[in-house]
Amino acid sequence: MAIDLTDRTALVTGSTQGIGEAIARTLALAGAHVGVNGRDRAKVDAAVARLAAETGADRFFPAPADLATEDGEAELAEALPHVDILVNNLGIFGAVPAMAITDDEWRRYWEVNVLAAVRLIRRHLTGMIGRGWGRVLNIASDSAVVTPEEMIHYGTTKTALLAVTRGYAKHAAGTGVTVNSVIAGPTHTGGVEDFVYQLVDPDLPWDEAQRRFMREHRPQSLLHRLIEPEEIANLVAYLSSPLATATTGAAVRVDGGYVDSILP
């Protein structure tokens, strides 16, 4: 199968590193022009330069904005009014004891992990429907289904994204626009390395720390390893393409078998 996104414009939120950067790279290699987003302009510019050098593709452009705020979203919309492929990857996570999650933390997680995606969908979905083609991908998590005790606030926001996805897919029904969630399993990123070391001995070498983390804290995984960001990006590229026209309103798993279910 050939994934061809030539002449499509994509916005990948939170794409200066990790899963978002891998998604931006993969979409560009399939022919899309990709907006690289982050709050810090210097980091965004560095990521654009790094991605262009790695791929040899002149298809990346900076899209800096703090999308956890209404003002930031409005500023980006003025600079980037047309989006064919919207990938809501922006998210924060961290381990906090269940009874210690404050109201302020709940609000912060809701703004970043849910409302940032909702604002962008609201902004761009009407245009996609008017053009008769578009893709919205919300990057969820296994924590949306298997709520971790140490990250109840995070898991709750990712569960909400599944409902957001299903609702907006119904709004776009029959228009040529698809709206899907990608349920990512435990993935190897810099942020996750930090998270792993919050839960296991910080003096352990990385390979040993990863194995211990998966054994003690994510034993449901059938991979017995962290997923690489490129493995998430490959599924996103497929769902962003014309090949995935019959998949919408779905929560598609790339979780290494972490969610113990025979259903998608």
Catalytic amino acids? Answer: 154
Q: How far is CA 50 from CA 46, 193, 233, in A?
A: 6, 21, 17
Helix (H, G, I), strand (E, B) or coil at 83: coil
Which tokens go with 135?
A: 């893709």
Work out the number of other CB atoms within 10 angstroms of the CB of residue 6.
Answer: 9
Smallest Cα–Cα separation from 25: which of 2, 1, 76, 59?
59
Residue type, 180: N
Q: What is the DSSP letter of 113?
A: I
Asked if 162 contacts 179 with a C-beta cutoff of 8 angstroms, the reply is no
Pseudo-torsion of CA 233, 236, 237, 240, nearest 10°? -160
Helix (H, G, I), strand (E, B) or coil at 7: coil
Nearest-angstrom CA–CA distance, 68 and 208: 36
